[in-house]
Amino acid sequence: MLLAAIVAAPVIAIAVAAMEPRWEVWRHLFETRLASLAWNTARLLVGVALGAGVLGVLLGWLIAVHSFPGRGFFEWALVLPLAIPAYVYGFVMIAFFDFTGPVQTWMRATAGPGAGLPDIRSYWGVVLTMSLVFYPYVYLLTRSAFAERGIVLVEAAKSLGQSPRTAFWRLALPLARPALASGLALALMETLADVGTVSAFSYDTFSTTVYRVWFGMLDRTAASQIALVLILFAAALVATERFARRRAAHTVSDARRTRRIEVSRGKRWLSTGVCAAVLGVAFVLPATMLVIWTARSVRAGTVASSYPSLVGNTLMIAVAAAVITVGAAVLLAYTARRLRSRRLRALTAVALLGYAIPGSVVAVGVLLVLSFADRIAGAALGSPPAFLITSSVVALLFAYTVRFVAAAYYPVQAGLARISPAMDESARALGATPRRILREVHAPMLRGSLVAASILVVVEVLKELPATMLIRPFGFQTLAVEVWERTNDAMWIEAAPPSLAIVVLGALLVGWLTRTGARQRALP
Amino acid sequence: MPLHKNSGRIALLAAMALAAITACERAPRDQTVTVYSSRSHYGAESVFVAFTRATGIKVEFFEGNNNEVLERLKSEGERTSADMLLTVDAGNLWNAAEQGLLQPVESKVLTANIPAHLRDPGNQWFAIATRVRTIMYNPKRVDPSELSTYEALGDPKWKGRLCLRPSSAIYNQSLLASLIAIHGEEATERIVRGWVANDPIYINGDTQILEAMAAGRCDVGITNHYYLARLLAKDSTLSVAPFWADQGGAGVHVNISGGGVTRHAKNRAAAIQLLEYLTTPEAQGLLASSSFEYPANPAVKPHPLLARFGSFKAQSVGVAAAGAHQAEAVRLADRANYR
């Protein structure tokens, strides 16, 4: 309860800070861009939900129940786009597909000056980019859902004279609904919180408006109120996710995963082609561009000498954040499972909203809470203890926890859901102590989920920028900050080495996660 | 708890990580000026190295973007380790002064080196370099005689041929703010509505606008001059040229990068020393040659590459006006539907 309150505190602090009425700003927004903002944000969410949803489900279904050339490789490789920060991917997409990029330059050279593509800096460009970078959440979660029972369902359908397609639409997809909902909730929360990518595309949403009002109109209270709108959007997402989960049956089927559907040769290669195309655009393309730019940067001699310490710093803070965040997520998920307190559940739901709030807004919430705690401690001890604020590492880790606890909570929750209460009961009936149940039943069954949750958090922290910028300790440099400093003056070639380092580290972790996950079948 | 067995070990690990990270926070503070900067120091490092060599005072940087640096300074209050704030855009400096983050500095060196319109009337901040935000065009497709004022970019002949950064860019907010200071709100809104009526192509980056122009995506646009200078330094054949706007009227929009001493500076004297040094001819020469900005000290010549851009008449409103009208400029852009 206390923990949930602590993690939820910054979100609540923003809400409290937003209480002062700012009718005048709202009236101005209402008269000017509010309608277009709401429309932009809503259609972005719908577009990304469709894009990431279709890609994730299609790939999850292909991989889970079909056999085709390269399946084993694609099973883990398709998760790799998670390693790429959305803002870096957005820039690569623009650099590649823009009017001045290689694709359109080539088209003009071969087919005359009139040739070209529709403008990438458009609604479709943003939706395409975000779908490609966020689909792995849906893919990861639906794939394991399909893997658990997909093949059984297909065979059952066959015995009733129905095609695999019917099995998918009538059985597998409805049964995978909770997994799809969780995956989409994560993807859409990321979409809501994003500022870097949409600004690169000059696409205005509520999150960019938080900045516009905060720094352009210099009104932090009104900015917090707009952040509250974001929080409401996120709350709607979380509620939808819960609703989709509510009537879900959480049984574990015992399907042997070696059997898969055999299809015709043409279809097999088509499956390979689809996977290769997605992986190519979502990972190979950006990785290749970064490698080329890094090579140019090395040749130009603009690579900083401090990389070992940068990588060390980044990894250290990411690991520390993962330990704390996953610990918090485990405690929250366990208490939610044990206690059926409505107040606790509400608080936990608020704590999860941090995932949908832009990092800088979370950072301000954290600073508000810490300076409040500082003042209380100061009043209690009679002297102002400089500890909480000045040791910003604490503040930073706190911010990461608030921002990413949802990313750890969902896998842990999914892992816990697989442990049916019947198991606890049978263990107890056999005379096991609660501690022994934890150690010998829960721990082994949860291990995969914990690894998955930790790696998700580590990868998120590797990519995190705005909160880090605002509250990092003096002189503390991470890879993402280095990327920002280089891109500040549009020095994209120079920004490539740290970007590449983030992608490589993230890809190694993600690859390791999914490969061990596939072996232990312990993914969420 | 499934982690029970390991939790002690993990806590120890986390504590060690914490200790290691906090250790690098504590650097010796004597003879060090700490600068919070939102001005990228890449390329401008030589001037700070020269300062350290001349005075023995070390310079430490903390970098972030404008907004983040200001928020941080504000939330740290009197505990801040910053002695000096270095940033781009007069709007940001004006905000910092407005929010009580800077302190006045009375220095004969600074007032002698920096003209009055390039510093705060209350001497809380000073320019160290200036940048011109003006009209750029592709000379292969546009004759300079077709160009005149910012307002004239609203002429229907530029429909579909104009590239603009969105109004979220502070450089554009400052440009609009200066136009408000000169022409008033109504006239400025008319100017912006003219641009918007031409269906501008929005590209969020000055360099990208210039590249798009060279490739023929658009024919005219508005950017800062030094982005063009940087591109020309790499490729002198690039087909983009600057046109000084409003020369028959109020003059072209000039903005600054500059700095001030923070209100709670621990090393006030050293910070003033650094600020003064940055305005000396020696330092101004180093700055100008690395960033392609114009020197703020009128006694110093700009980079030779800028000579071919020619001379210009600058807006006479002080750069402080940019800050005072910034919020109005944002609202005006909202009303005019300027993205």
Strands B84-88 and B220-224: unpaired
**Backbone φ, ψ for residue A79 (5° rounding):** -85, -15
Same domain, B65 and B121: yes
Bridge partners of B170? Answer: none
The reply to whether residue A217 touches residue B330, judged by beta carbons under 8 angstroms, is yes
pTM: 0.81
CB contact under 8 A, A393 and B34: no
Tell me, yes or no, whether B268 and B239 share the same domain. no
**Residue B7 belongs to a domain:** no
Alpha-carbon distance of A415 to A424, in angstroms, equals: 14
Identify which of B3, B204, B211 has the shortest CB distance to residue A100.
B211
A284 by DSSP, 3-state: which?
A: helix
CA B214 to chain centre: 24
Range of the domain at B140: 131-253+312-335
pLDDT tens digits in sequence order for chain B, 339 residues long = 344 444 444 454 445 444 444 444 334 445 888 888 887 655 457 888 888 888 888 888 877 777 778 877 887 777 788 899 998 888 888 889 988 999 999 888 889 899 888 888 889 999 999 999 999 999 999 889 988 899 889 999 999 899 999 988 888 988 999 999 999 899 999 999 999 999 999 988 888 899 989 988 899 999 999 999 988 988 888 889 999 998 988 889 998 889 999 998 888 899 999 999 999 998 888 888 788 889 988 888 888 888 888 888 888 887 777 778 888 898 898 888 898
Measured between beta carbons, the chain B residues lying within 8 angstroms of A119 are 201
- Shared domain check, B231 and B144: yes
Claim to verify: residue B58 and residue B35 sit in the same structural domain = yes
ipTM of the complex: 0.74
- Amino acid of residue A213: V
Q: Do residues B198 and B273 share a domain? A: no
Within 8 A of B337 by CB-CB distance, chain A residues are: 32-33
Instruction: Please name the residues in contact with B334: beta carbons below 8 A apart, sequence gap of 6 or more.
Output: A28, A29, A32, A33, B167
Q: Which portions of chain A are predicted below pLDDT 70? A: 1, 150, 246-259, 302-305, 340, 378-392, 474-475, 487-491, 515-524
CATH number of the domain to which B275 belongs: 3.40.190.10
Residue B331 lies in a domain: yes
- A–B interface: beta-carbon pairs under 8 A: 163
Min Cα separation A408/chain B (Å): 15
pLDDT tens profile A101-114: 888 888 888 887 77
B335 contacts chain A (CB < 8 A) = yes
Mutate which: B34, B62, B68, vs A, most A CBs within 10 A: B68
Dihedral, B189, B135, B229, B316 alpha carbons, nearest 10: -60
Chain B positions touching A390 (Cβ under 8 A) are: 79
Q: Are residues B123 and B149 in the same domain?
A: no
Which residue in chain B has the smallest CA separation from A369?
B75
User: Out of A216, A320, A469, whose CB is closest to B68?
Assistant: A469
Give a yes or no: residue B64 inside a domain: yes
Q: Which are the contacts of A439, defined by CB distance < 8 A and separation ≥ 6? A: B2, B4, B5
The answer to the question of residue B18 being in a domain is no
**B171 close contact with A: CB closer than 8 A:** no
Per-residue pLDDT reduced to its tens digit, A253-307: 444 455 677 777 778 888 888 899 999 999 999 999 899 988 888 887 766 667 7
Q: Which pLDDT score is estimated for A483?
A: 81
- Closest C-alpha to A495, from A95, A78, A195, A81: A95
Q: Which domains, and CATH codes, for chain A?
A: 2-248+265-520 (1.10.3720.10)
Q: Which residues of chain B lie closer than 8 angstroms to A447, CB-CB?
A: 2
Residue B220 has φ and ψ, to the nearest 5°, of -135, 160
The answer to whether position B1 is within a domain reads: no
Question: What total number of domains does chain B contain?
Answer: 2
